Amino acid sequence: MIEQPNLSYINTLSGGDEAFKAKMITIIKNEFPIEKEIYYKNIEAENFKESAENVHKIKHKISILGLEKSYKVADDFENNLKEGSIIGKEEFDAILQLITDFLKTL
């Protein structure tokens, strides 16, 4: 079963402060599509070092959205990119789609 993004961490962080929670969600919704787009441009251009940096940034969003297994996948993929390998790309791209779909529901 594929894990689903959730707001558990954000809810814990906000401690019931709805304004803070809304702000966190807004930041993620604004930053994630941009980070994703930059990642795709770099991966397409085979700029693996830059792609690894993009994945590193996106990992924070993966973590905040409670995706523990996906975080490990992203971490492995980041390390592969640093070695010039795209092993793990399909899995990582699937995680990006999962997050994209989830953010549309917020």
Model pLDDT for residues 17-57, shown as the tens digit of each residue: 999 999 999 999 999 999 999 999 999 999 999 999 999 99
Q: Which two tokens stand for residue 21?
A: 């929670």
Domain residue spans of the chain: 8-104
Residues near 93 by beta carbon (within 8 Å), at least 6 away in sequence = none
Note the Cα 34 to chain centre separation in Å: 11
Full-model pTM: 0.95
pLDDT digits (tens, 9 = 90+) for 74-92: 999 999 999 999 999 999 9
